[in-house]
């Protein structure tokens, strides 16, 4: 599970994402897993969206 938090001054939970990737998580296996890439893209999008440096 990944919990994405918003930025201060009022930090809050923005989104909770379940991570349904097989264990053990080996880097070689993750790099070939489309679900990992989708999760990575989703998380980067959320981090960029809630980063004040990227605010419009």
pLDDT at 49: 81
Taking only the tens place, the pLDDT of each residue in 2-56 is 999 887 777 889 899 999 999 999 999 999 999 999 999 999 998 888 766 665 5
The pTM of this model reads 0.74
- Rounded distance between C-alpha atoms, residue 19 and residue 8, angstroms: 26
* Pick from 43, 41, 38, 52: nearest CA to 7: 52
């Amino acid at each position: 599970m990944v919990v994405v938090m918003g930025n201060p001054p009022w930090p809050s939970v923005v989104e909770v994402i379940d991570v349904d990737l097989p264990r053990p998580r080996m880097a070689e296996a993750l790099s070939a897993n489309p679900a990992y890439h989708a999760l990575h893209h989703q998380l980067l999008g959320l981090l960029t969206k809630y980063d004040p440096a990227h605010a419009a």
